[in-house]
């Protein structure tokens, strides 16, 4: 265990959403976050908590069908993209769908990319700044957050500084 | 009045569908190629494979419906096609083909919203509902309740906040180790089980609004699977899952009818083919002196007939908006209530 890894036990769905809320306040433009874990581990739940904490009151739909759900959040001055590559059979689908254009952007176009099932896009995806792995522990979950870059380490230290805040009531 | 032939083209996901609808003779020819075999090996629809397969299928299907209807291309009066929502690459194949045919023939091309096709599809049956009605759209990508007052007049009453019902079926099937497509396999397994032996939640059933949520149900299934299941347990879990989804779909549909004070419910989309859902809706609506309408089984899943029909309805209502420049523009995300 070092400053690049944080492990957080999540008792229930509310705890997963609360972790999303903490992550929300630690984001920076250009950050790429991989969300890992099996079906039902809580990846989309975490994204919902994150978006709610940023003031998004609309729906947070699973991007499984559409591959990408983009969000323009008024409290952020950069776009946020929620990807889900669950349905990819071959990593080349990522390139064929033109999704590479969203990653590695700089300046005004740099958004935050939250990626579910990143392994399905294989080597086409740039390496993430932060990996959030959700493991199923009975009915609870255990989140392991690993910083993989300077940006990721900065995000993780901001996250550690955020007092666990509850997402605002809908 | 001049007779009209409308060509309909659907390619928003994994079915290539073409059809010829005649404004006096009705649906004359339709053909669908499903990619289920193609995607079965992968456990789900693969967007790029889907687009390539649409490219391969669309011209032969076009020739087939022309031959079946006994007409030639020059007889076509308008071309309706699915412009969204759906997979961008898949939509572009249908849009490019439709606009090209229209340009070559000097006829209008009419972009159609995929879900409008679905919710109007029961009007193609021999005993159609009359406006207004409530429509429940349930498929792999959508779960929503709409008030349909007339062609082009749709009011969103409620929709899923996370996963679509069909997506929940597919992912639950995967958690239970069932093959793709998951929905029918799960329904078959459910027949061997008994609902209620395992307890699953009915998410948002009493939320007081008409929205849905199915993501928590998937998590509850995962928790049950992780506790270890024997064969009978798997069947019981499948049965309880199906019952939970059906309870919510039925409960919300009845609430939508109460709220709108309407008596007619139209059910469209792939999940509308689920037998248990149909049994329950038929029973509940009969008890309330209401009626439930389904598209013909062949028109439950994606098809070109519903797109041709929606195009014909829009033309008749003066609501068709052909793009004069034959621009090829699709809208992968397109809310139905913004029509």
Q: How confident is the model at residue A169 (pLDDT cuts 50, 70, 90)?
A: very low
C-alpha separations of B3 from B24, B30, B76, B133, B182 in Å: 7, 19, 10, 29, 43
Q: What is the pLDDT of residue B77?
A: 96
Instruction: Give B157 to chain A, closest Cα distance, Å.
Output: 14
Least confident of A145-154, B47-56, B199-208: B47-56
Instruction: Please choose, from the candidates B115, B113, B112, B131, the residue with its C-alpha nearest in 3D space to the C-alpha of residue B123.
Output: B131
pLDDT band at A67 (very low <50, low <70, confident <90, very high): confident
Report the candidate in B136, B140, B142, B110 with the shortest Cα–Cα distance to residue B122.
Answer: B136
Query: What does the pLDDT average to over A115-131?
Result: 94
Q: If pLDDT is split at 50, 70 and 90, which confidence band does B327 have?
A: confident
Whether B186 and B242 have beta carbons less than 8 Å apart is answered as yes
Q: What is the per-residue pLDDT across B94-111, written as a single tens digit (0 to 9) for each? A: 999 999 999 999 999 999
Q: What is the pLDDT of residues A138-155, one digit of tens each?
A: 889 999 999 999 999 999
Least confident of A18-22, A85-89, B6-10, B64-68: A85-89
Q: Are residues B48 and A92, on separate chains, in Cβ contact within 8 Å?
A: yes
Distance of alpha carbon B191 from alpha carbon B193, whole angstroms:
6
Q: In angstroms, rounded to a whole number, what is the distance separating the alpha carbons of residues B62 and B71? A: 12
* Cβ <8 Å between B218 and A39: yes
Instruction: Check residue B270 and give its pLDDT.
Output: 84
- The answer, yes or no, to whether residue B128 has pLDDT greater than 90, is yes
**Does residue B176 surpass a pLDDT of 90?**
yes
**Quick check: A38 and A136 in contact, CB under 8 A?**
yes
Whether chain A has a CB inside 8 Å of the CB on B335: the answer is no
Using alpha carbons, select from B232, B245, B109, B223 the residue that is nearest to residue B165.
B245
* Burial annotation B166-200 (CB, 10 A radius, 16+ → b, else e): bbbbbbbbbbbebebbbbbbbbebbeebebeebeb
Residue of B nearest to A47 (CA): B162
For residue B138, which residues of chain A lie inside 8 Å, CB to CB?
Answer: none
- Residue B147 in this model has a pLDDT that exceeds 80: yes
Answer yes or no: do A40 and B163 touch at CB < 8 A: no
Alpha-carbon span B24 to B73, nearest angstrom: 19
State percent of chain A over pLDDT 70. 94
Q: Is B94 exposed, middle or buried (0-12, 13-18, 19+ CB in 10 A)?
A: buried
Instruction: Give the per-residue SS3 of chain B.
Output: CCCCEEEEEECCCCEEEEEEEECCCEEEEEEEEECHHHHHCCCCCCHHHHHHHHHHHHHHHHHHHHHHHCCCHHHCCEEEEEEECCCHHHHHHHHHHHHHHHHHHCCCEEEEEHHHHHHHHHHHCCCCCCCCEEEEEECCCCEEEEEEEECCEEEEEEEECCCCHHHHHHHHHHHCCCCCCHHHHHHHHHCCCCCCCCCCCCCCCCCCCCCECCHHHHHHHHHHHHCCCCHHHHHHHHHHHHHHHHHHHHHHHHHHHHHHCCCEEEEECHHHHCHHHHHHHHHHHHHCCCEEECCCHHHCCCCHHHHHHHHHHHHHCCCCCCCCCCCCCCCCCCCHHHC
CB-count exposure of residue B291 (10 Å: 0-12, 13-18, 19+): middle
Contact A45 B215 (CB under 8 A): yes
As for the ipTM of the complex, it is 0.74
pLDDT of residue B40: 56
Contact A40 B175 (CB under 8 A): yes
What is the CATH code of the structural domain delimited by A5-150? Answer: 3.40.50.300
Cα–Cα distance measured from residue A169 to residue B325, given in angstroms and rounded to the nearest whole number: 48
Helix (H, G, I), strand (E, B) or coil at A163: coil
Query: Does residue B321 carry a pLDDT above 80?
Result: no
Is the separation of the CB atoms in A28 and A130 below 8 Å? no
* Residue B203, min C-alpha distance to chain A (Å): 14
Residue % of chain B over a pLDDT of 90: 70
Return the domain boundaries, chain A: 5-150
Instruction: Read off the DSSP letter of residue A28.
Output: -
> Which comes out higher in pLDDT, residue A88 or A78?
A78
Nearest to B221 among A40, A66, A89 (CB): A40
**Picking from A34-38, A146-150, B292-296, B330-334, which range would have the lowest pLDDT averaged per residue?**
B330-334
Mean pLDDT, chain B, integer: 90
CB contact under 8 A, A38 and B160: no
- Residue A1 is predicted with a pLDDT of 45
Interface residues from chain A to B (CB-CB < 8 Å): 13, 38-42, 44-45, 48, 59-62, 64-67, 86-90, 92-93, 96-98, 136, 138-139
Q: What is the mean pLDDT of residues B247-274?
A: 95
Minimal Cβ distance to B162: which of A61, A93, A138: A61
Q: What pLDDT score was predicted for residue A167? A: 47
B332 vs A66: CB contact, 8 Å cut-off?
A: yes
The predicted structure's pLDDT at residue B87: 82
The reply to whether residue B44 touches residue A86, judged by beta carbons under 8 angstroms, is: yes
pLDDT band for position B2 (50/70/90)?
low
The nearest CA of chain B is from the CA of A60 a distance in Å of 6
């Amino acid at each position: 265990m070092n400053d690049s890894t944080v492990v957080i036990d999540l008792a229930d769905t509310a705890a997963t959403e609360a972790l999303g809320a903490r992550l929300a306040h630690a984001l920076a433009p250009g950050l790429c976050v991989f969300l890992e874990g099996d079906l039902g581990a809580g990846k989309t739940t975490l994204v919902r908590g994150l978006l709610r904490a940023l003031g998004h009151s609309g729906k947070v739909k699973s991007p499984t069908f559409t591959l990408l759900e983009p969000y323009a959040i008024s409290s952020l001055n950069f776009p946020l993209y929620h990807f889900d590559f669950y349905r990819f059979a071959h990593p080349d689908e990522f390139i064929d769908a033109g999704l590479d254009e969203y990653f590695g952007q700089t300046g005004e176009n740099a958004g935050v990319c939250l990626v579910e099932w990143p392994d399905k896009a294989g080597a086409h995806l740039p390496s993430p700044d932060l990996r959030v792995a959700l493991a199923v522990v009975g009915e609870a979950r255990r989140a392991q957050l690993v910083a993989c870059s300077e940006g990721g380490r900065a995000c993780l230290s901001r996250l550690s500084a955020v007092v666990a805040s509850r997402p605002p009531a809908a | 009045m001049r007779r009209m032939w409308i060509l309909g083209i659907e390619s928003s996901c994994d079915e290539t569908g073409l059809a010829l609808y005649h404004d006096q003779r009705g649906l004359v020819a339709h053909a669908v190629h499903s990619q289920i075999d193609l995607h079965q090996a992968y456990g789900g629809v693969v967007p790029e494979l889907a687009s390539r397969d649409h490219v391969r299928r669309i011209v032969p299907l076009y020739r087939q419906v022309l031959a079946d209807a006994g007409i030639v291309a020059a007889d076509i009066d308008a071309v309706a096609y699915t412009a969204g929502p759906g997979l961008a690459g898949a939509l572009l194949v249908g849009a490019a083909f439709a606009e090209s045919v229209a340009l070559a023939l000097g006829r209008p091309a009419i972009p159609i919203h995929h879900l409008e096709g679905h919710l109007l599809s029961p009007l193609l049956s021999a005993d159609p509902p009359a406006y207004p009605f409530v429509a429940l759209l349930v498929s792999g990508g959508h779960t929503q309740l709409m008030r349909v007052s007339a062609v082009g007049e749709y009011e969103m009453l409620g929709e899923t906040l996370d996963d679509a019902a069909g997506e929940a079926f597919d992912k639950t099937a995967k958690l239970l180790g069932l093959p793709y497509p998951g929905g029918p396999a799960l329904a078959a397994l459910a027949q061997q089980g008994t609902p209620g032996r395992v307890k699953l939640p009915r998410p948002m059933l009493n939320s007081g609004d008409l929205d849905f949520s199915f993501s928590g149900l998937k998590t509850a299934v995962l928790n049950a699977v992780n506790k270890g299941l024997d064969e009978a347990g798997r069947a019981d879990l499948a049965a309880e899952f199906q019952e939970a989804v059906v309870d919510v779909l039925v409960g919300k549909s009845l609430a939508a009818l109460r709220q709108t004070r309407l008596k007619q419910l139209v059910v469209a989309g792939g999940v509308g083919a689920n037998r248990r859902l149909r049994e329950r809706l038929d029973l509940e609506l009969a008890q309330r002196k209401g009626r439930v309408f389904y598209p013909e089984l062949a028109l439950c899943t994606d098809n070109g007939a519903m797109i041709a029909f929606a195009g014909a309805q829009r033309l008749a209502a003066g609501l068709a908006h052909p793009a004069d420049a034959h621009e090829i523009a699709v809208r992968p995300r397109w809310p139905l209530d913004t029509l």
